[in-house]
Amino acid sequence: MLKRIRFLALYGLSWILFFQLFRIIFFIYHFKKSLDLGGALLVQSALHGLRMDISFSGYILMIPTLLIAASSIKWKWYQNFLHWYSAIVAFFMVLLTIFDLELFRAWGFRIDATSLIYLKTPKEAFASMGAAPVFPLLVLLILLLVLVIKILFTIQKRTIPYFSGSSPVFTALLFIFLAAVLVIPIRGGFQLAPMNESAVYFSNKSFANYAAVNVPWNYSRSLLNEGFDKHNPFNYFPEDKAKATVTSLYHHGIEHEQLIDTTNAPVNLIIIIWESFTAKIVEKLNGVPGITPQFDALTKEGILFTNMYASGNRSDKGMVAILSGYPAQPTTSIIKIPNKTVSLPSLPREFRDFGYNTSFYYGGETEFANMKTYFLQQGFNTIVDKNAFNGADMNSKWGAHDHVVLNKFLTDLDQKKQPFFTTLFTLSSHEPFEVPVKTVIPGNDQEHLFLNAHRYSDASIGEFIKNAKTKPWWKNTLIVILADHGHPLPEKPASKPNEFHIPMLWLGGVLKKKNITIDSLCSQTDLAATLLNQLNLPSKTFNWSNDIFMTNRTSFAYFAFMNGFGWMRPNGFIVRDNIGGNITEKSGNLKPEEVDYGKSYLQASFGDYLKR
């Protein structure tokens, strides 16, 4: 009997140690962030994470514990079963660990069930990881898998064959009891609340908290509870109070500064959504010099918005923020659920209903992240994607490069019936940061590849604007250039607000003023109401959009990332971790109640998402 207990103890302990090993590998893979934390916080992260490691090891141990009750007489079948069980579990644990290493670098949070939506379009999903060191990661996967399986098989070989005969009834009762006891470590102890992320979050440093999380536990939890589709997990205040707080931030009226000449209305509208276009690479916004010379030059011909923030950190969230004026969710994405997105307000639909010809252009796969369904619901008459391009033009892992798509776009615009509302989404500045031209920004590390890709996108957009100025439709057209989201790169200066800070530029023949900057704090979600009001179209359905030029406007910006949010005001900001409840970053002279404004916004916006 003791030999059986000894086997289970060794088996469970092995998994606890494996999870600590996986955490050490995570530290090494993200060594720059680890160095920033320092040794003391790294050790604390591992120790706090131990509790969640034990919890998930308990889950793994549950089946071997229950089945060992039947090994009182014969044990060979048990050993054969454990071989298969251990190999399968090891494969999935190691696979999640390896994927998480790279996805954390790209996304900034531990892998969870939100990754599944991207697997519906596997080619695009793998393209997004094209910049990853695939071969070293594959080698690491194999080595880890061999190591884990070898140790588990050795434990089984040296213990299971030595099981001695025992009373079937006593054995069954004992190990059923032990299986029941496993519930204690699984739930994290005897406390009222079962194991959750808060149990391991301990620091105001986000990376330390993320590292403490057990990846398989996190993935399994999100898979079982994806989207929090029944209950709002962000209940901080009575619902009416949270809603009233948010309502007080918006002032819907008709008085606003008019910067668009609508004398020859209707005005054509072009929105260019620039992939990962962070303010950190725009010299005009104190970013890295020499990356966007065309954009910088064009600011003298238009209106530059210097203080805009993306609502989310993924393209699917950016699309909804821009086209529906709807804020991002911190734990899911509304675009995944057509029954919800169909109820969202829609810029293209508003323009279509007023007689505009609407279209959307993208050189890649529009099915990616379920975006095509959303675009169709939004009211685009025409969707042009990779299927419209020749095979020779599909020379990016994502599809057709930016200059190819922009050239077709320009040609098609000449044939379009006016007025038109059309949107173009670039792709070349997405990972793996491939470009079809000679390298301008040398360097093979991620940051320089990122900068070089943006230099190419900048040149492509600059050439498009140059040619567009020669077209008859230019004089009655407004062009808006903005990002779908920001980016962690370049890594310095490192802060959440910097990751979400994005540029926006208005160009075209209908501008009343040029070579000016708008420094008002604003969000991607504010574009919808701003455009509609400028063009004298109704904007009342865009309840989450705050007209940038509205008289007596309350200036604020909200952004969401995986289980956290940022709250920006003109005099400062806070960044909050939703799990631990910690303020991880802050600046300026915000009043204490501003935290409640951010929490109310999170609660009310997620509550609205649930009700749709």
Sequence ranges of the binding site for substrate: 430
Residues flagged as binding site:
275, 430, 484-485
- Please, are residues 603 and 242 in contact by the beta-carbon 8 Å criterion? yes
Sign of the alpha-carbon dihedral angle for 527, 533, 535, 539: positive
DSSP string, 454-523: HHHHHHHHHHHHHHHTTSGGGGGEEEEEEES---S-S-SS--HHHHHEEEEEEEETTBSS-SEEE---EE
Query: What's the alpha-carbon Rg for the chain, to the nearest Å?
Result: 27
The span from the CA of 89 to the CA of 285, in Å, is 49
Provide the b/e sequence for 122-148 (b: ≥16 CB within 10 Å). eebbebbbebbeeeebeebbeebbeeb
| Burial class for 381, CB neighbours closer than 10 Å (0-12, 13-18, 19+) | middle
Gap between the Cα atoms of 346 and 49, Å rounded:
43
Dihedral class, residue 577 (left if φ above 0, else alpha if ψ from -120 to 50, else beta): beta
Distance of alpha carbon 468 from the chain centroid: 33
**Which residues sit in the known binding site for Mn(2+)?**
275, 484-485
Among residues 34, 315, 324, 523, the one annotated as catalytic is 315
128, two tokens: 């997004």
Which residues, 6 or more positions from 390, have their beta carbon under 8 angstroms from its beta carbon? Answer: none
Alpha-carbon dihedral angle through residues 561, 479, 540, 236, given to the nearest 10 degrees: 10
Q: What are the distances in angstroms from CA 350 to CA 107, 264, 354, 380?
A: 33, 19, 7, 10
Number of other residues whose CB lies within 10 A of the CB of residue 480: 22
Instruction: Please name the residue ranges forming H helices in 234-337.
Output: 239-247, 293-298, 315-324
CA gap 433, 128 in Å, rounded: 9
Neighbours of 199 (CB within 10 A): 22
The Cβ of residue 43 has, within 10 Å, a number of other Cβ atoms equal to 11
Cis peptide before 432 (omega within 30 of 0): yes
> In the annotation, is 315 catalytic?
yes
At a CB cut-off of 8 Å and minimum separation 6, what does 470 contact? none
Catalytic residues: 315
